[in-house]
Chain A
Amino acid sequence: MHDRASLLAPGLVTLDAHLEAEFEALLVETSRLAFRVAFSVLRHQQDAEDVAQESFAKAYRHFGSLRDRDRFRAWLVRTVWRTALDRQRANRRRGAHELVVEQGFLASFSSPGQSSPQAVDDRTALWNAIDALPEKLRVAIVLASIEGHGVSEAAALLRIPEGTVKSRLFLARQRLKEALK
Chain B
Amino acid sequence: MTDQELDRALAGAFAVEPQADFLARVRSEIGRQPAPSVWPAWRPLAAAGAALAVAVAAVVTYRTEPGQPSAPLRVASRVEAPVVPVPPIAVGREAPAPARAQARAVRAVPLALPAPQISPDDAEALRYTLAGASDGLFAPIAARDDSAPLAVSGIDLAPIEVMPLAQMAQADSGEHQ
Contact = CB atoms under 8 A, between A and B. Distances in A.
A84 interface: no
A134 interface: no
Contact of A32 (B1, B17, B30, B39): B17
A14 B33 CA distance: 19
B23 A27 contact: yes
Given A64-B41, A177-B1, A126 B34 contact: no
A109 B19 CA distance: 11
A145 B1 contact: no
Interface residues of B, number: 32
Contacts of B11: 145
Interface stretch (A35-43, A86-94, A155-163): A35-43
A52 interface: yes
Given A27-B26, A64-B40, A109-B16, A180 B1 contact: yes
A49 B25 contact: yes
B7 to A, nearest CB: 8
A65 B30 contact: no
Contacts of B37: 64
B22 to A, nearest CB: 5
Contact of A52 (B3, B17, B26): B26
Nearest to A58: B33
A53 B29 contact: yes
B6 interface: yes
Interface in B1-47: 1, 3, 6, 9-19, 22-23, 25-27, 29-31, 33-42
A1 B27 CA distance: 7
Nearest to A109: B16
Interface of B: 1, 3, 6, 9-19, 22-23, 25-27, 29-31, 33-42
24 contacts: A1-B27, A4-B31, A23-B30, A27-B27, A32-B17, A35-B17, A48-B18, A53-B26, A53-B29, A57-B26, A57-B33, A61-B33, A62-B41, A64-B37, A64-B39, A64-B40, A65-B42, A109-B16, A111-B15, A145-B10, A173-B3, A180-B1, A180-B6, A181-B1
